[in-house]
Amino acid sequence: MSLLTAQVPLYNGSFENWSGSASTQQPNGWTTALVGNVVTEVFGVQVPIPVNTYFGSMDADAHSGSYALKLQPATVGIPGTQYSMNFPGIAQLGIAEGFNIPLQAILDLASILTDTTGSANPGDIDPTVLASLAQVFAPGDSCSKTPQSINFWMKFAPQGEDVVQVIGYSKINGQPVSYAEASIDQPANDYTYVSIPFDAPGQPCDSLLFIIMAGNFGSADLNTVMIVDDVTFTPGVVGVAERDVPQFHTYPNPATDYVRVAPSITEPYRCQVLDMEGRLLRVVESNGEQSTVDVSDLARGVYTLRMEQQGKVSNHKVVVR
């Protein structure tokens, strides 16, 4: 049996599709950047420190196809001051929006993720800290049953004591129900297959989150390099991890001029744009291909994209600014 038998690709898990300029390029459906403000106290005053850091880049050294994702650590904050920190190269499934969070919340997260007891998962973080950190986390992807495992192919060239840390978790109504966690410290000069099991496969859920970190918080070496490709999940052992609602990825979000709508299957669908009062503003029909929704004439605010496909419906919130 092939290693890839019965595996389901995560959205753009092959990292073939990218958007943005050369300096801000991101793989579609993933977040490999921290963009926002970290708030710290300076002489008794709360001061926002702008953060605009990109960890990921397109790499032609692919396991399959044309491209893979290359991750490297970077300095976040003001280099050379106490208000800076070397972060591992981070990639998250889903699109994370901007943030405005206390520096202490990040330090608390770093403490959890570098815990040597093996209990490094978001469930260990104080709820008030986690609520603040939620601004940093991407939403992941929709999934109705917790997978058996998360799988990927990687190359890894660590410097010093840097490691690869992987956290996957499924949620329902915002609450985690199962975790997949691993720390990898062995170099991999050739593509190596990694499979990380969930502790409660088959559990009902509504979303699946996946985070890869190349390097250690605070002490990451900027020359550490990880290349990852072909990210998949193995359906849960209790039934197949079917997706009960049609799967679409919408980007950019927030949007200014347009929103791209990318379906996971090539079947006809309808996209309705609704305002917060539920009023229908426009309808876009597609034969199953990616489509573009014009939002350039809409007022700033939050809108709903109501997606209908194969008799099922899913809703997606989009911010227009």
Phi, psi of 56 (to 5 degrees): -110, 150
pLDDT given for residue 240 in this prediction: 35
70-35-23-291 Cα dihedral, nearest 10 degrees? 90
- 16 touches 58 (CB < 8 A): no
Query: Are the beta carbons of 10 and 71 closer than 8 angstroms?
Result: no
The residue among 101, 182, 85 whose CA lies nearest residue 137 is: 101
Look at residues 44, 64, 314, 57 and name the one whose alpha carbon lies nearest to residue 206: 314
The pLDDT assigned to 24 comes to 83
Q: Is the dihedral of CA 150, 112, 91, 184 positive or negative?
A: negative
Which pLDDT does position 23 carry in this prediction? 77
pLDDT at 58: 95
Cβ count near 2 (within 10 Å) = 6
Entry field: residues in the chain: 321
Strand partners, 319: 302
CATH class, domain 248-320, is mainly beta
**CATH architecture of the domain with residue range 8-234:** Sandwich (2.60)
pLDDT in tens, the chain (321 residues): 233 335 778 889 999 999 888 778 899 999 998 888 777 777 778 777 777 889 999 999 999 999 999 999 998 766 666 667 788 999 999 888 777 777 666 666 666 555 544 444 444 555 555 555 666 778 888 888 889 889 999 999 999 999 999 999 898 887 888 888 888 989 999 999 998 898 888 888 888 999 999 998 778 899 999 999 999 888 875 433 344 556 777 778 778 888 888 887 888 999 989 887 678 899 999 998 889 999 999 988 878 888 888 877 777 778 887
Q: Is the dihedral of CA 9, 11, 17, 22 positive or negative?
A: negative
Question: Which run of H or of E encompasses 46?
Answer: strand 45-54
DSSP state of 278: -
How far, in Å, CA of 254 to CA of 207, rounded? 20
Task: Please list, in sequence order, all residues whose beta carbon lies within 8 angstroms of the beta carbon of residue 70, skipping any fewer than 6 positions away.
Answer: 56, 57, 58, 59, 61, 225, 226, 227
> Do the Cβ atoms of 250 and 95 come closer than 8 Å?
no
Distances (CA, A) of 305 to 249, 270, 280, 290, 313: 11, 10, 10, 14, 10
> How far is it, in rounded angstroms, from Cα 37 to Cα 130?
17
Q: Where are the domains of the chain?
A: 8-234, 248-320
Other beta carbons within 10 Å of 307: 23
**For residues 233 and 149, is the Cβ–Cβ distance under 8 A?**
yes
Q: What is the pLDDT of residue 206?
A: 86
Distances, alpha carbon 304 to alpha carbons 60, 67, 172, 248, 317, in Å = 37, 33, 21, 13, 5
